[in-house]
Amino acid sequence: MVEDFILLNEGKAKLKVPNPAKYLRSDGVYEPSWAPVFYNPAQILNRDISVLALSAYSAIKGGSLLLLDAFSGTGVRALRFFKEVPGVSLAIANDLSERAHKLIQENISLNNVEDHVLATSADANALMHIIKSLGKTIHYVDIDPFGSPKPYIDSALWCVRNGGLVGVTATDTAPLSGAKWRAGSRHYDAHLNRFQPPHYLGLRVLLGYIARRAASMDRYVSPLVSFANKHYYRLILMVGRGALRADEMVASKVGYLIHSPAKNELMIVRELRELWDIIKGNQNLGKEVMGPLWVGELGDPEFIGNLRKKLGEEYDYLPTYTEAKELLRILENESPYELTYSITEIARRIKVNTPKVQAVLECLENEGFKAARSHICSACVSTHATFKVVEDCVKKSSQRTSE
């Protein structure tokens, strides 16, 4: 007989989770959403990076931390945060589902952490507002719902303390990335279209939306780590308070993307007046405008460097150690650049063989532009260089090498 539940370890937490063998699709792949309580091994990298980020934050902030895992499932995040991050005094593991709540309680007992991990069962929005109204200071909120995080962004920004962190997972990548651009435009109050590489757009639409919601509350956000992986996006943001800083953020980090491969154009525009002038000068470009979206850095290279250091020195036991190390290395290098190009897509359009990424990077360097590989796709580069420069480099490099 196949058991209903199994025991496993993730990081330093012991967990009782639904037996994956009972929820297999016809192709043999485990489908976590069929299980009575959600636990997805495909999200371990997401959780490992979150543990590292909280650990780096804890080291900077000092003192004791109060955390809210608002969509806890089995309780895995709250348990891992308490057991693996120094300085956590209380982690609240919340889930609306009664079955999840019961399993969280069992997992708290299994780990003997009754004094430091608290199971609650409430709607996440209601709970965040109650916590805020009680005057409690939350240092970190984790938002990991099914699909879009949009319904929970306002409450998370509202309840987190000044200088605290919010971690957001989104699995609605098709709307965000422009593949389902009508839905994305409606859900995220932006004008979207199809885009290559899609996840560049998706991350920036999500960040832009969160930044605008923060600004509406006289708050601002600074992305510490943002990445796309498999079927999800993950952002870890610092949230600060202050109308002036919110104004500055909107003016410098929220803008528009003009994307017209046919006209060799990929351009970031920060000001509405500038956008207006461009469209007036070339009315066809009006159709190619996307946004508002985030046009600033996707991460803080210094913070990401800290995570890499911590990974090597204190967290070499993490289940996704090798993957996390490689991801953080790429994110640290690509963070400063605002544009990301798909070499494959450009090569396809100008009808040349796809060149080696390294050859394109060297060509850009020779043209005076710094550039780095991007995690967004295996043949993507991030740089400040214009579309024309990158296209020329793809052409030149293709004559020399191809992948």
Ligand X SMILES: C[S@@+](CC[C@H](N)C(=O)[O-])C[C@H]1O[C@@H](n2cnc3c(N)ncnc32)[C@H](O)[C@@H]1O
Out of 30, 57, 71, 220, the residue judged to bind ligand X by CB under 6 A: 71
> Given CA atoms 120, 126, 129, 130 in this order, what sign does their dihedral have?
negative
Among 10, 18, 35, 38, binds ligand X (CB under 6 A): 38
**Binders of ligand X: how many residues, by CB under 6 A?**
21
If the CB atoms of residues 6 and 279 are measured against ligand X, the closer one turns out to be: 6
* Short-list 349, 381, 378, CA closest to 363: 381
Compute CA distances 18 → 5, 6, 15, 168, 285, whole Å.
4, 6, 10, 24, 52
Binding of residue 34 to ligand X (CB under 6 A): no
- 211 versus 236: smaller Cβ distance to ligand X: 236
Residues 262, 264, 268, 273: is their CA dihedral positive or negative?
negative
Query: Contacting ligand X (CB under 6 A), which of 11, 18, 20, 145?
Result: 145
Closest CA to 223 of 152, 138, 165: 165
**Shortest Å distance, C-beta 172 to ligand X:** 12
Output 68 or 311, the one with its CB closest to ligand X: 68
Q: Which stretch binds ligand X (CB under 6 A): 51-59, 105-113, 142-150, 311-319?
A: 142-150
Determine which residue in the list 11, 18, 20, 73 makes contact with ligand X, applying CB under 6 A. 73
- HSE on the CB side for 272, CA within 13 Å? 2
Q: Is 97 in the site for ligand X (CB under 6 A)?
A: yes
Least distance CB 37 / ligand X (angstroms): 6
Residue 147, Cβ neighbours under 10 Å: how many? 11
Q: State residue 143 phi and psi, 5-degree precision.
A: -110, 110
Q: Does 375 bind ligand X (CB under 6 A)?
A: no
3-state secondary structure of 20: helix
- DSSP type of residue 4: S
Closer by beta carbon to ligand X, 149 or else 240: 149
Of the candidates 191, 361, 202, 196, the one whose C-alpha atom is nearest the C-alpha of residue 266 is 196
Does residue 81 touch ligand X according to CB under 6 A? Answer: no
Stretch binding ligand X (CB under 6 A), from 88-96, 109-117, 312-320, 327-335: 88-96
Q: Which is nearer to ligand X, 72 or 177 (CB)?
A: 72
Q: Which of residues 171-210 bind ligand X (CB under 6 A)?
A: none
Rounded least distance, CB 232 to ligand X, Å: 9
Establish whether the linkage from the previous residue to 292 is cis, with ω within 30° of 0.
Answer: yes
- Sequential DSSP letters for 213-258: HHHHTTEEEEEEEEEEETTEEEEEEEEEE-HHHHHHHHHHHEEEEE
Q: Is 69 within 8 Å of 91 (Cβ atoms)?
A: yes
- String marking each residue 40-59 x if it binds ligand X according to CB under 6 A: x--x---x------------
CB 171 within 8 A of CB 147: yes
Contact positions with ligand X (CB under 6 A) in 104-133: 123-124
Candidates 146, 277, 284, 366; binder of ligand X (CB under 6 A) is 146
Task: Give me the residues that bind ligand X (CB under 6 A), please.
Answer: 38-40, 43, 47, 71-74, 76-77, 94-97, 100, 123-124, 144-146
